[in-house]
């Protein structure tokens, strides 16, 4: 299992990182399905979507990505990392510190899709983790790459995004 952390790239555990990845993928899928099949001359900004917030200290986002599009998704997630870390908005930078992406290397039996889980811990109160909002950050941070970003996101999602709020019950590390 591979993990992409916005702090550092780590190998190991599945926990919260898997959920966060899924949320990003689902939002990107919703955006991609609403977009026209052919990339326009100028990639449009995603339409406004309801905010995707967490109501607990930790949460998971589950995204299904088509198996042949995982490299595209991971490329966009690297741009997202850069965009979040260089954002001027303190809330966005704070969101990045708790953002971890995990990938299940095994294809899902029914669809052949690859599941990404984004683990968000800690969550940011009123932080919008919707793929639409996150893609807008990427478009703003990389205006010269909008066509490439659009091309890589369009059609990459193989299912809807799921969100799970996680309430702590026990911490065995203490």
- Residue 98, domain member (yes or no): yes
Strand boundaries in 49-140, DSSP class E: 58-65, 99-103, 114-120
Mean pLDDT of 124-134: 93
- Domain-located, residue 156: no
Q: What's the chain's average pLDDT?
A: 81
Structural domain harbouring 100: 2-21+32-56+64-126+140-149
Flag whether 8 is in a domain. yes
Answer whether residue 41 is part of any domain: yes
Asked if the structure places residue 105 within a domain, the reply is yes
Backbone angles phi, psi at 170, to 5 degrees: -150, 145
Residue 15 lies in a domain: yes
Q: What's residue 160's pLDDT?
A: 85
pLDDT(131) > 50: yes
Q: Name which of 19, 100, 95, 96 is nearest 63 in CA terms.
A: 19
Q: Which residue has the higher pLDDT, 169 or 48?
A: 169
Does residue 160 lie within any of the structural domains? no
Residue 50, pLDDT score: 73
11-53: per-residue pLDDT in tens?
Answer: 333 333 444 444 444 444 443 444 434 444 555 555 556 789 9
* pLDDT of the residue at 47: 56
Per residue in 106-123, pLDDT (tens digit) is: 999 999 999 999 999 999
Does the pLDDT at position 71 exceed 80? yes
- The count of structural domains within the chain is 1
Q: Does some domain include residue 81? A: yes
Q: pLDDT (tens digit, 9 = 90+) per residue, 132-163?
A: 999 999 999 999 999 999 999 999 999 888 99
Which of 83, 73, 38, 80 lies closest to 152, judged by CA? Answer: 73
């Amino acid at each position: 299992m591979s993990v992409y952390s916005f702090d550092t790239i780590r190998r190991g555990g599945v926990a919260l990182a898997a959920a966060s990845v899924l949320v990003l993928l689902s939002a990107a899928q919703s955006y991609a399905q609403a977009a026209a099949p052919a990339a326009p001359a100028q990639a449009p900004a995603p339409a406004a979507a309801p905010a995707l917030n967490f109501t607990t200290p930790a949460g998971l986002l589950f995204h299904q990505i088509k198996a042949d599009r995982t490299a595209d998704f991971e490329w966009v997630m690297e741009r997202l990392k850069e965009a979040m870390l260089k954002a001027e908005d303190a809330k966005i930078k704070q969101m990045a510190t708790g953002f971890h992406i995990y990938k299940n290397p095994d294809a899902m039996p029914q669809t052949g899709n690859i599941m990404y889980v984004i683990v968000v811990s800690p969550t940011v109160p009123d932080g919008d983790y919707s793929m639409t909002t996150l893609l807008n950050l990427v478009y703003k941070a990389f205006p010269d790459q909008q066509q490439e970003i659009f091309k890589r996101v369009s059609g990459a999602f193989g299912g809807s995004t799921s969100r799970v709020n996680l309430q702590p019950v026990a911490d065995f590390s203490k």
